[in-house]
Amino acid sequence: MPRIKLQPKQVELQELFDGHISTWLGMGGGRGAAKSAAADRIMIQRRLENPGTIGAILMRNYDQVKRYHIDPLLRDYPELNDQYHITEKKIVFPMPEGPPSELHFTYGESLEDIERRFRSASYFDVIIDQAEQFSEKEIREVKQAVRWKNTKRKTCKMALLFNMGGAGISFLSKKFHEHEYNQREQAEDFAFIHVRPWDNIEWSRQALFEDGFETEEEQDHQYYMVMTDAEREEYCASRSDYGHTLNSQDEVLRNRDWKGSWTALEGAYFGRVFDRDATVISDDKVALLLKPWLNRWMSQDWGKGHYCTTQWHARGVLSPKEAKEILGWNVSKPVKFCLTYREYIAGGAADSDEGAEREISESDIARQMVERTPKDERKQVGDFWMSPDAFEMSVRRAGQSEIAEIIGDVLSPEGLPRPQKADNSRVDGWSLMYNMLLATKRFHATQTKKVEPPNDEVWLIAANCPELIRSIPLLMRDPKNLDDVLKTDKQSAKLEQDCGDTARYGLKSKLKPAEKPKEEQRKDALQSRGDMTDKYLENLKFEQEWQRTHKPLTRPSRFSRGRAN
């Protein structure tokens, strides 16, 4: 059987599982604090110490649970490979006597998924990793499945592991920080462990080795027994690359990711309006909403060192009957909606800890966009709004062609539109997204109370856009301009910011363009010109400038251009 080794904060969590009266366990704070590793190790121990029981590790989607749990666990404990059932996504632990214990790896992309997987389930323990991505309804649904026959009270536990920020962080804050409970809950039901990156020795092992502590036992003793907490913080910040990266961020992000402070939640731009249950819809509902005649478009925040994120959007109107049948909303008027129904993530900095396909060219990205857009859908995509920098940057290896041109040359022959420069009005764009999310939250409230929301357009997001869903509640206000979202420097790749920018380009450019209509601008340009000749020349100049800045790229593919003899 595996040899389990735990760090001090992981030991604290194990003790809450094994002997504490609380059944709601929280472990949250900064990033990189070995929370996922704690889940793996404690779940193995619990299965071996409680023969014949079943435990589950839950994340938002399968990619996450595979990347953060299945792959690392089988790598760290290769002896478990033979016991891993790949089809059922579980590890079976044979017992000397009686039935085996099992560890299940599962996921739920929506409330419907959670209900389907947990409504009739029975688990001895459940650990929800990145619990900040789950809503209160989803978490409580899972908690009802934490039950086991013929077991003493307070034995079955659910642990919520989380970072500071996310769709469900307000619920986690109420229970583990503000200690707000309903009339049937008791304070003793909840226990919390605050963790930070410097609690995880793994970021500092190389530095400890360089300082002369050669064995893991020597390193552990020096780090956890000799150093104080303040000394560990300084050591991790100054002697590890990951610690230095987190500690060097803008103060708002440093407070969230490094300090793991509860006060960081106050800076979330969409914290008050993003309701995951209201905004995120299942694949079944997407299929009902996505009619063939809807107006569709794409948006992209191009990036090389940063991520290159692409999203697909559609816009339509629901009758009151459709709103009730599909979304459960009780309204008397039609509802205008915008639906973001697909995403594609590429690129990203090599030292980032987020998963994305790297070493990919502009043409590769464009080909992936084509492949991910079904053939019969391509003719319905009318616009492609792309970040302005893609029209200003060239690629030397492609003969100094603009990024937008390279991508357009691949898309156009396949029936997709060439890129147009997106509206980059930051404050207006974020405000539009905020108001649409607020409208969605208000319409969703009609499921349980009789209200008539204003006739505002709502924004719905498909469950198969996990990175956008994860990103929205992580976007932070810029303390220097509270109407804007904090933008980190170009050397720092933040997936949430790139996903947010992509959505902003798509919604702002399509729904509420900032500039005057073309003919109004033409009138303004000609107004100061006196005679007809001046007006004629000014009109030519205006038309040339408009074509240059507004029309999609129409240059022929570089592969079809004639060559000089």
The CA-atom distances, in angstroms, between 19 and each of 156, 245, 399 are 11, 37, 67
Q: What's the mean pLDDT in 516-541? A: 76
Model pLDDT, residue 331: 92
Q: What's the mean pLDDT in 277-293? A: 94
Looking at CATH, the fold of the domain delimited by 8-195 is given as: Rossmann fold (3.40.50)
Q: Which is more confidently placed, 366 or 517?
A: 366
Query: Biggest alpha carbon distance in the chain?
Result: 101
CA distance 35 to 563: 60
Tell me if 89 sits within 8 A of 70, measured CB to CB.
yes
Can you count the helices (H) and strands (E) in the chain? 23, 19
Residue 563 has pLDDT above 50, yes or no: no
Would you kindly state where each structural domain of the chain is located, as residue ranges? 8-195, 201-261, 276-511, 526-550
Tell me if 478 sits within 8 A of 487, measured CB to CB.
yes
Q: The dihedral of CA 182, 184, 186, 191: what is its sign?
A: negative
Which amino acid, residue 406? Answer: I
Write the DSSP string, 55-76.
EEEEESSHHHHIIIIIHHHHHH
| Closest alpha carbon to 431 in 273, 256, 280, 266 | 273
Model pLDDT, residue 237: 97
Please give the share of the chain, as a percent, with pLDDT higher than 70: 90
pLDDT in tens, 369-380: 999 999 999 999
| Closest alpha carbon to 332 in 318, 344, 346 | 318
Name the phi and psi angles at 260, rounded to 5: 60, 40
pLDDT in tens, 157-204: 999 999 998 888 989 999 999 999 999 999 999 999 999 999 999 999
pLDDT in tens, 437-485: 999 999 999 988 877 777 889 999 999 999 999 999 999 998 888 899 9
Helix (H) or strand (E) holding 466: helix 466-471
Q: Which is more confidently placed, 279 or 3?
A: 279
| Closest alpha carbon to 473 in 245, 264, 197, 192 | 264
Which amino acid, residue 132? Answer: E
The CA-atom distances, in angstroms, between 79 and each of 50, 76, 84, 416 are 20, 9, 10, 49
Looking at CATH, the fold of the domain delimited by 276-511 is given as: Nucleotidyltransferase; domain 5 (3.30.420)
Helices (H), 256-378: 276-279, 283-289, 320-322, 362-371, 375-378
Tell me if 241 sits within 8 A of 351, measured CB to CB.
yes
| Closest alpha carbon to 163 in 117, 130, 205, 115 | 130
pTM: 0.78
Model pLDDT, residue 398: 47
Structure tokens at 14: 């194990």
CA distance 109 to 517: 41
Tell me if 157 sits within 8 A of 25, measured CB to CB.
yes
> Lowest-pLDDT range, 64-68, 381-385, 490-494?
490-494
Give residue 560's pLDDT band: very low, low, confident or very high (50, 70, 90): very low
Residue 394 has pLDDT above 70, yes or no: no
Number of CB atoms found within 10 A of residue 359's CB:
8
Model pLDDT, residue 513: 66
Mean pLDDT for all residues in the chain: 89
pLDDT in tens, 20-56: 999 999 999 999 999 999 999 999 999 999 999 999 9
Name residue, tokens 């990793």.
129
In 108-166, at which residue ranges do the beta strands (DSSP E only) sit?
125-129, 157-163
Structure tokens at 47: 């299965």
Name residue, tokens 């539109």.
417
Q: What's the mean pLDDT in 207-228? A: 97
Which amino acid, residue 180? Answer: E
Residue 268 has what DSSP assignment? B
Model pLDDT, residue 550: 62
Model pLDDT, residue 557: 39
Give residue 555's pLDDT band: very low, low, confident or very high (50, 70, 90): very low
Model pLDDT, residue 564: 39
Structure tokens at 24: 């709601």
